[in-house]
Every structure is written in structure tokens, then in C-alpha cells.
Amino acid sequence: MSFTHLDDRGQARMVDVTAKQPTIRSATASGMVRCGPAVVQALRDGAVPKGDVLAVARIAGIAAAKKTPDLLPLAHVIGVHGAAVDLEVSDDGVAITATVRTADRTGVEMEALTAVAVAGLAVVDMVKGLDKSVSLADVRLERKTGGKSGDWVRAE
């Protein structure tokens, strides 16, 4: 088995995508911030002392998608041409979905996952004063399109 991120000596390297042609690609990821009933009610009532939790988390997630190569050392610097982060308050907490799009040489799976993770962390940061037991869970890729490996959708 060969590993794309290891050189002939077994050392980590960035995969060279120079010769690849840019194609349209997208990825969608999801996650959940688990919150107790009091936090959920405060979110629904707009009563979180730090302000508009969902707006801050949405912007944090979009910004994070664009900063992915700064956080993950082997991620490529690519053009994030579209990023949407959606948050929905449910009885269990806040469901997060992020979709990132590009027309580049490599995919945006890590950008979508990073957007979800950072949006979730922003929610945690803003509500932790109400309940220290909130948690970020189930960050995962849901689907991707484009690229050499083609389209993929999580089976469940």
C-alpha cells in the first residue's frame, strides 16, 4: 500500500497537484453541539448574554473554511469560491451543516469539516457560561462531488 502524503523515505509531504486540471468540486459536512434544555431555550429566545450565537458561529465557520491550510499542514491552499454554514436549533442543541465549493485542483472536504468544527466551537464558546457541559459531536463528511474519486454520499 502506498501513502500519498509520504515520500520515498517515509516522511510527510504535501501532494503535488500542479499537473491536475481545476474542476468544480463541493463538499458538505455536518456536526452537532449538544446542549441542555436551558441553553436550547436561551438560544430560541435570543437570550444568550454574549449575543447572536448563530450569526457569530456562521461567520466563524465561513472564515475557518478559508483558513484551513493555516490549520492543517498538508492541506493545499485553494480558492474557496463558496461557503455556506447553516445552524438550526433543535431540542438536543444546534445542528450545523457546511457546504464549501471550489473550482480548483483538489477537493474541499477538509474545508467543510473545518467550517463545521469551528462553527461548533463558536457556539460552545458563546454558551459555555450558561452550561459548561455543552459538547461538539459527530463532525463528519456527508457528501462530496467532483475530482478524481467522483461523487460520494454517506450511506445511512
Which residue is catalytic, options 86, 92, 125, 131?
Answer: 125
70 catalytically annotated: no
What 3-state DSSP class applies to 41?
A: helix
Measured between alpha carbons, how far is 132 from 23 in angstroms, rounded to an integer?
A: 43
Residues placed in the known binding site for substrate: 74-76, 110-111
Q: Which residues are annotated as a binding site?
A: 74-76, 110-111
3-state secondary structure of 129: coil
CB-CB contact of 130 with 48 (8 Å): yes
Q: What's the gap between Cα 45 and its chain centre? A: 26
Which residues belong to the active site? 125
